[in-house]
Structure 1
Amino acid sequence: MVATQRPELFSDALGYLHERAATETGLSDFGDDAYLTNLKVLLDCYDRESKLGDYGRTVVESTMISALKGRLYSTENIKNNPDCLTHPIVEPLFILGLPRTGSTALHKLLAAAPDTQALEYWLACTPDVRPPREAWKDHPQYVETVRALARIYDSLPEYRSVHSMKADEADECRLLFLQDFTGMTFSSNATIPGFEKWILDRDMKPCLRRYRDNLKLIGAREPDKRWVLKNSAHLWALGDLADVFPDACIVHTHRHPLQLIASVSSLVYRLRKQNEPSISKQEVGLQQLNLWARVIDRNRELRRENPDLDVIEIRYADFVRQPIETVKSIYRKFGIAWSAEIETEVRQWAAGNRKDKYGAHEYGMEEYGLSEALIMEKFGDYIDEFELVR
């Protein structure tokens, strides 16, 4: 039972959130306290900047409590499996790119190969040594995650056509980044530009080191399998990523911004509209335009500063036209052996997961306050550098 009452202000909720997480897990060790700086900034920005209604407040509280529960689970399970930290992570594949560039489909296609491992949604939320797949359905944390995803789609059924998530499938590194209160998940749920700026300017190495330890924990049964990982947050932390994973193999996905900024705005608006009833599509559109323009400018700067990074460029149009050949090109680039077994598994996944499986995602540029001129002004140099076509 939680003794502390829910406070009026988010900035007064630090103890309440930790108590809720500890009560729900029966655990108490949150690990090192470096994450508290980010969390305090987040709470302050919710108070000063967000437009959350009662429902939205419940949603963001739940997200923060889930993040703290993830810290508790990973801290406890690493203590129970200390040898996991001795296993190196060798030449992991990192997929990064702006949202809606095909990175999710490419991630899941690469993860279908039998020689790789990926970060399953449920284990990213509740990190532990990955059990045999046949035991998942009886694992309490897996069951809890399935129910949590069902609640998301029950409250926002159209979201499935925008971004499909399953407890047993590969998902994004953002779920582990939540433990350090970094990434864009929090600002997808509410209007908190101050927190976005804070995160973009932070040293990500402490977060990435904890993230690396979580990967070692989850993959402890199969430490020799290559990791396939994906997150847009890697775009603005490329230098820090290279420091923590010096042999990283980077797959950078690209798509013409005219084809994606309205799509990103639509996704974020669908997430926010129930949380912040007064938010407008135009407001979200301009926020997303400016946010991702800043991210891509930062990424281009980091790539110039780190010319030795091992990177392959993947353009959306090429991937859509030839998905299997795209995967093969990644294997060739990084010297990974290809086999008939890998091709069979990848082709089977591609055949069973066609685009628009859960319905089409429809949106228009103008309804989000966007125009071709605005987008070209922000992204013109990026478009020219990577020779992106509409």
Structure 2
Amino acid sequence: MTEDSSADAMMAAAGLTGEFAVGTKPGLTAALASLALESGLSDEGKGRAVAQFQDNLGRLAAIASDRAAHPEIADVKIDRPVFILGLPRCGTSILHALIGADPDMRTPLQWEVAAPSPPPEAATFDSDPRADGFDAYVAANFSGKWADVLKAHPIGARVPQECGMILETAFQGINPAMLFSLPGYYDWYRDADTTFGYQVHKMWLQHLSWKNPRKRWVLKVQEHAYHLPELMSVYPDAVLVQPHRDPVTVMASISRLIEVIRSVSFEEIDRAALGQELLHLWHDGQVRSMAFRKANPDVKVHDLRFKDIVADPITAVHGVYAHANMAFSAQTERAVSAWWSDNPADKHGQHKYELSDYGLTREQVESVYADYIATYRDYL
């Protein structure tokens, strides 16, 4: 069976039809073709990849089915959403959670992105059994080799979810490459027109907002940097925020995190090859982002330092609110302060890593990221 026919069979099995199948098929086909060429994956790893692809299709099919049953979901307005950009490990998750602590703000939570149907409702949002089910899944699966993931990245039912878990349902996100090292798929994704992915992204926000709205959405994932033209075509009133951090520290940290994530799917991981892969992969996104910003000076981006987020989160969040023209109330300040107090950096243990573990040197990183460093030196 060819990857093309395999994609058709998988979408049919998930119940994905019409425009959703047409839009999803190119990325799914690219992912399946790349998976067939990946020799480093264990049999278990290949099974995990296929299961992940099936889950993505199932979640999108659920969104499509609910939308067909309730056409009014398409009328939900998404007003001036805030998108947090930036390299991995530079404070985007912290900033996302800090703002998400504000009761007036809406972030996608991990449980509702994992199990979106039926659409969540405000009256039962805090007691929805799907949340406990997600936490039970995390407790059962994030142990052994995967235990270190929790040290590096927060995972839990009521933790804000990245947009990557939404974009991957359209097979127009970077997650398959991160989880399973699929270079062919990454090359496809990097150069694809991902407008369909952002249209699906907006459908997700409408779906999650329908019966549980807030004043504004705040969203994040590093891969937005690759496709800002498509993002802005779907969200022309989007507000952009970008934290920055020394890329030398970023590369050491993200290499360790991806090594841990992949450890359950690969018999062996070549650390030096991983270091080189991620060194250039994340730089690709910044090249795209810097080009977009240079070509679109009218699109204002709020730049800030990772160091300032962790040194004074209240002031950092206040700056984002000012940029987004949102009221920073006493309630907001209390919520942000409480989240910071309840979530110390080492809550799940320390995440240890060294750049040299991945065959990288400071000089190598600074050479590849010379353009980024020169552009954002004041924010590093």
If the length of structure 2 is used for normalisation, what is the TM-score?
A: 0.93
Give the alignment partner of residue 266 of structure 1, picking from 253, 256, 263: 256
- Deviation string 1:363-384 (CA, Å, 9 cap, x unpaired) is 1111101001110111012112
Q: SS state of the match for residue 252, structure 1?
A: strand
Does 1:14 find its partner at 2:3? no
Q: SS state of the match for residue 143, structure 2?
A: helix
- Give 1:21 shift: 4.0
Does 1:49 find its partner at 2:42? no
Give the alignment partner of residue 94 of structure 1, picking from 59, 65, 83: 83
Which whole-Å CA distance do the structure 1 matches of 2:140 and 2:115 have between them?
18
- Give 1:328 shift: 0.5
Identity %: 27
Change in Cα spacing, 1:310 to 1:152, as seen in structure 2 (3 Å) is farther
- Deviation string 1:63-112 (CA, Å, 9 cap, x unpaired) is 11110111111011112221121122111110111100010011000000
Give the alignment partner of residue 213 of structure 1, picking from 199, 203, 214: 203
Q: Which residue of 2 aligns with 1:226?
A: 216
- Deviation string 1:230-271 (CA, Å, 9 cap, x unpaired) is 111111111111111111111111101011101111111111
Change in Cα spacing, 1:274 to 1:389, as seen in structure 2 (3 Å) is same
Which whole-Å CA distance do the structure 2 matches of 1:297 and 1:371 have between them?
21
Q: Which residue of 2 aligns with 1:174?
A: 164
Q: Which residue of 2 aligns with 1:308?
A: 298
Q: Which residue of 2 aligns with 1:115?
A: 104
Which whole-Å CA distance do the structure 2 matches of 1:303 and 1:28 have between them?
37
Does 1:246 find its partner at 2:239? no
Q: SS state of the match for residue 240, structure 2?
A: strand
Runs of 4+ in 1 over 6 A off after TM superposition: 9-12, 27-30
Q: Which residue of 2 aligns with 1:3?
A: none
Tell me if the contact between 2:11 and 2:21 (Cα under 8 Å) persists in the aligned partners.
no
AA partner of residue 194 (structure 1): G
Change in Cα spacing, 1:36 to 1:147, as seen in structure 2 (3 Å) is farther
Which whole-Å CA distance do the structure 2 matches of 1:30 and 1:353 have between them?
42
Which whole-Å CA distance do the structure 2 matches of 1:260 and 1:80 have between them?
44
Q: Which residue of 2 aligns with 1:4?
A: none
If the length of structure 1 is used for normalisation, what is the TM-score?
A: 0.91
Q: Which residue of 1 aligns with 2:318?
A: 328
Q: SS state of the match for residue 253, structure 2?
A: helix
- How many equivalent residue pairs? 378
Q: Which residue of 2 aligns with 1:339?
A: 329
Change in Cα spacing, 1:387 to 1:10, as seen in structure 2 (3 Å) is same
- Deviation string 1:95-130 (CA, Å, 9 cap, x unpaired) is 111100010011000000121111011222233432
AA partner of residue 67 (structure 2): I
Moved more, 329-338 or 149-158: 149-158
Q: How does 1:273-284 map to 2 (within 5 A)?
A: 273-284=263-274
- Give 1:133 shift: 6.2
- Deviation string 1:296-353 (CA, Å, 9 cap, x unpaired) is 1111111112211131001111111111100011111222112111111111111101
Tell me if the contact between 1:50 and 1:192 (Cα under 8 Å) persists in the aligned partners.
no
Which whole-Å CA distance do the structure 2 matches of 1:301 and 1:384 have between them?
14
Moved more, 355-364 or 126-135: 126-135
Tell me if the contact between 1:11 and 1:47 (Cα under 8 Å) persists in the aligned partners.
no
Does 1:356 find its partner at 2:346? yes
Give the alignment partner of residue 194 of structure 2, picking from 192, 200, 204: 204
Tell me if the contact between 2:199 and 2:234 (Cα under 8 Å) persists in the aligned partners.
yes
- Give 1:191 shift: 2.1
Unaligned runs of 5+ in 2: none
